[in-house]
Chains A and B, each alone.
Chain A
Amino acid sequence: DIQMTQSPSSLSASVGDRVTITCQASQDINNYLNWYQQKPGKAPKLLIYDASNLETGVPSRFTGSGSGTDFTFTISSLQPEDFATYYCQQYDNFLITFGQGTRLEIK
């Protein structure tokens, strides 16, 4: 099974900051890597798919990059509504694994 290592597990930042989260797969997953945002008490929301494609309606301050085993998710300028938990997710041969999550908190 493919394991996903997401870091950091938590992060404190201020409005306007640029933040980066990384996700590493235990083996090559091509670009089959998606990013989600989850707010307390709510279902996750798809932000980025196939490593770097912005889902329709998602603000352009969210970006993703990477391929193979190493992936990066960036918020270019944090907004108050961005404080949430973020998850990476990989897909390989019909099986799905999530990263452990990164809790983004207000500094």
Chain B
Amino acid sequence: QLQLQESGPGLVKPSETLSLTCTVSGNSISSSSFYWGWIRQPPGKGLEWIGSIYYGGSTYYNPSLKSRVTISIDTSKNRFSLKLNSMTAADTAVYYCSRRRVRGITDYWGQGTLVTVSS
């Protein structure tokens, strides 16, 4: 059974960089059939797609976040990562890692990790 698990700090200071990792078990991250990505949800609000990565390293980012986001993949450790720089209070959210099939069909999600931006 595929499982995705986010890890990283729950508290980040304003202007700092958020680093999260998603460890995948039960499926090779090198599969050519899937993309891996990040989605976030501010408390009490809707879902926002952050970006996706393919096992070969191709990345796709939300245009509104593109200047601050880097998603990378480590196939040897079966995990992928998110870096979001210049964090502000508006970036406070639950961050989900996910697997998607073609056409954005997101079929597996991590449990989510709450990241709070505060000094």
Contact = CB atoms under 8 A, between A and B. Distances in A.
Given A43-B96, A89-B106, A94 B47 contact: no
B103 interface: yes
A49 B47 contact: no
Contacts, number: 58
B75 interface: no
Interface residues of A, number: 24
Nearest to B105: A49
Interface stretch (A67-75, A76-84, A96-104): A96-104
Contact of A1 (B48, B63, B104, B111): B63
A34 interface: yes
B94 to A, nearest CB: 9
Most buried by B among A32, A49, A87: A49
A97 B48 CA distance: 7
A99 B45 CA distance: 11
B60 A32 contact: no
Given A1-B63, A94-B52, A98-B49, A46 B112 contact: no
A50 B105 contact: yes
A96 B112 contact: no
21 contacts: A36-B47, A36-B106, A43-B111, A44-B96, A44-B109, A45-B109, A46-B106, A49-B103, A55-B107, A89-B49, A89-B104, A89-B106, A90-B104, A91-B105, A94-B52, A95-B49, A95-B62, A95-B63, A96-B52, A97-B49, A98-B47
What are the 6 closest A-B residue pairs judged by CB atoms, nearest first? A91-B104, A43-B109, A96-B49, A94-B60, A98-B47, A49-B105
